């Protein structure tokens, strides 16, 4: 008895020592970076030009035939007026009616090109909330230190910042060594067809970029409740599929209902899906993010991350306890539409629901459908994907490439208050997913630091200072790309 107690005590001490030693070895991999000075810009002038772009309502239409082409033509003309050097020195092509591809030929054709992406379309403004905006959504108002309007953050702000940076570099007589493409889609918020067409064009020309940078991550002090500004660069994005669930019956009078109605069968199917979620795991991308951030976390959390072999189940439980955390560890299940019945005394002949899934890399559309069928386990419920909007999870880009290192270094040069840049999984969809056909190094980051989170919401706006800093980011990124890659 005593002996076994002793063995147990020794085992526990050894285990404890191992856990503590592993935690202690978990140091930062972030190197020292000197901030960059000397990129002078005039924030007021930059704000005025972004305001002009926000005044043009380039709203993305769900039905592509309903795109208001005039707005995109107006934005194109505004770009011509505001960025004359860009239009004199770069080759501009119009792709898929309104998307724009600019080519800035490099001096050294032996270098792989780089691609800077953004999108020009914006989501519509819900008419019900329009009156709640402090400044009208397409006013481009400049007030209280902000530039106001739909698209300020997503994604006209970054598109304009890229153009400002190139215009500025051209004024300075800068010539890129690698060829630089600026690729601006016009329907990212719906189909992404513009971006897809640009990719097809580049592919037909044999373009293999060193790296591609699109919107995605940003700098936030709210990551894992850290309270320090952390930059996250997306290396993959989740897939997307909506499944239509349908139950049909002969209907009939509500005075003689069957044991299982269409509404009952469909409700049970939905409830089963909510109770039996897709399996969870600390995905390798999340693991890498956590390991990168670990040195800044409180000791208890650092200890868990340094010893995932022991604590993974605890960490998973912790993540799954909040919607935001849960979305990081599994393919999510979200019932979004439920339709049945039209009159109080008539049994509906048909009940229909839509369930939206965001698919973790590693899972697939086929895997989701299989999971749904076996979980519902009722032949009366038919399951059909909405093909037009579905897409598999993206390929996972390399967080150890020179391109990632260059983006990370640029972030820390322009934002010296940022101690760490971490790779992560983007929860939403971006145009970048098409570009993985061209390069294994597709990254998702936009230069925003703790801007009010108003993307797709009321009072979307960007700070005047923040926009100016975004322009500096792209200037420095292009400069760095001349030396390193």
In the complex, the residues that contact Zn ion under the rule CB under 5 A are: 154-155
What is the smallest separation between the CB atom of 123 and Zn ion, expressed in angstroms? 8
**Beta-bridge partners for 383:** 245
DSSP 166-233: HHHHHHTT---SS-EEEEEES-TTTT-HHHHHHHHHHHHTT---SEEEEEEEEEES-GGG--S-EEEE
In the bound state with Zn ion, the residue whose beta carbon lies nearer, of 158 and 348, is 158
- Is 155 designated active site? no
What is the smallest separation between the CB atom of 121 and Zn ion, expressed in angstroms? 8
Q: Residue 124: name the closest of 214, 50, 51, 189 by CA.
A: 189
Which is the catalytic residue, given 121, 154, 196, 289?
Answer: 121
Which three-class secondary structure state does DSSP give residue 378?
coil
What is the smallest separation between the CB atom of 23 and Zn ion, expressed in angstroms? 38
Tokens of 177: 């060594």
- What is the rounded CA–CA span in Å between residue 147 and residue 46? 10
Which is the catalytic residue, given 188, 214, 289, 363?
Answer: 188
Tokens of 112: 């792989």
In the bound state with Zn ion, the residue whose beta carbon lies nearer, of 154 and 289, is 154
In the bound state with Zn ion, the residue whose beta carbon lies nearer, of 67 and 292, is 67
In the bound state with Zn ion, the residue whose beta carbon lies nearer, of 155 and 167, is 155
- Is 188 designated active site? yes
Which three-class secondary structure state does DSSP give residue 420?
strand
What is the smallest separation between the CB atom of 92 and Zn ion, expressed in angstroms? 22
What are the distances in angstroms from CA 408 to CA 31, 51, 156, 230, 399? 10, 29, 22, 11, 10
What is the smallest separation between the CB atom of 118 and Zn ion, expressed in angstroms? 8
In the bound state with Zn ion, the residue whose beta carbon lies nearer, of 270 and 432, is 432
What is the smallest separation between the CB atom of 229 and Zn ion, expressed in angstroms? 21
In the bound state with Zn ion, the residue whose beta carbon lies nearer, of 54 and 294, is 54
- What is the rounded CA–CA span in Å between residue 323 and residue 19? 30
Half-sphere exposure (Cβ direction) of 428: Cα atoms closer than 13 Å: 14
Within 8 A by CB and 6+ apart from 134, the residues are: 148, 459
- What is the rounded CA–CA span in Å between residue 369 and residue 412? 43
- What is the rounded CA–CA span in Å between residue 34 and residue 369? 50
In the bound state with Zn ion, the residue whose beta carbon lies nearer, of 117 and 329, is 117
Q: Residue 106: name the closest of 173, 167, 165, 178 by CA.
A: 178
- What is the rounded CA–CA span in Å between residue 163 and residue 475? 10
What is the smallest separation between the CB atom of 356 and Zn ion, expressed in angstroms? 18
Catalytic residues: 121, 188
């Amino acid at each position: 008895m005593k002996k076994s107690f002793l063995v147990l005590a020794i085992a526990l001490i050894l285990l404890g020592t191992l856990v503590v030693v592993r935690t202690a070895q978990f140091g930062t991999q972030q190197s020292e970076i000197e901030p960059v000075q000397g990129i002078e810009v005039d924030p007021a002038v930059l704000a005025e030009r972004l305001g002009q772009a926000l005044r043009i309502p380039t709203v993305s239409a769900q039905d592509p035939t309903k795109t208001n082409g005039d707005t995109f033509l107006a934005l194109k003309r505004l770009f011509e007026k505001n960025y004359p050097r860009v239009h004199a020195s770069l080759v501009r092509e119009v792709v898929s009616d309104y998307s724009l591809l600019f080519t800035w030929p490099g001096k050294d054709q032996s270098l792989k090109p780089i691609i800077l992406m953004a999108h020009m379309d914006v989501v519509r403004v819900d008419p019900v909330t329009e009156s709640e905006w402090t400044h009208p959504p397409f006013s481009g108002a400049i007030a209280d230190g902000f530039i106001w309007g739909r698209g300020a953050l997503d994604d006209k702000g970054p598109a304009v910042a890229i153009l400002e940076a190139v215009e500025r570099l051209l004024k300075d007589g800068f010539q890129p060594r690698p060829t630089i493409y600026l690729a601006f889609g016009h329907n990212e918020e719906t189909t992404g067809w513009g971006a897809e067409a640009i990719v097809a064009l580049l592919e037909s020309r044999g373009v293999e970029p060193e790296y591609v940078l699109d919107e995605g991550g940003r700098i936030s002090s709210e990551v894992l409740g850290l309270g320090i500004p952390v930059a996250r660069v997306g290396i993959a994005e989740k897939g997307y599929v909506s499944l239509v669930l349908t139950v049909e019956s002969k209907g009939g009078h509500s005075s003689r209902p069957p044991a299982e109605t269409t509404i009952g069968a469909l409700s049970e199917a939905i409830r089963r899906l909510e109770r039996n979620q897709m399996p969870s795991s600390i995905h390798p991308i999340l693991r890498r993010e956590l390991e990168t951030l670990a040195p800044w976390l409180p000791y208890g959390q650092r200890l868990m991350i340094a010893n995932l072999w022991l604590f993974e189940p605890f960490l998973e439980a912790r993540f799954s306890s909040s919607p935001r955390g849960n979305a990081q560890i599994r393919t999510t299940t979200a019932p979004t539409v439920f339709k049945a019945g039209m009159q109080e005394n008539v049994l509906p002949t048909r009940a229909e629901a839509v369930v939206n899934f965001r698919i973790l890399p590693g899972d697939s559309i086929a895997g989701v459908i299989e999971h749904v069928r076996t979980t519902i386990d009722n032949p009366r419920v038919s399951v059909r994907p909405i093909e037009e909007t579905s897409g598999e999870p993206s390929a996972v880009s390399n967080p150890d490439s020179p391109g990632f290192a260059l983006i990370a270094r640029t972030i820390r040069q322009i934002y010296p208050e940022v101690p760490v840049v971490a790779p992560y999984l983007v929860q939403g969809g971006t145009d970048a997913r098409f570009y993985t056909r061209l390069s294994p190094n597709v990254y998702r980051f936009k230069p925003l630091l703790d801007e009010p989170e108003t993307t797709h919401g009321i009072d979307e706006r960007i700070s005047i200072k923040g926009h100016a800093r975004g322009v500096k980011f792209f200037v420095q990124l292009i400069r760095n790309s001349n030396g390193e890659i």
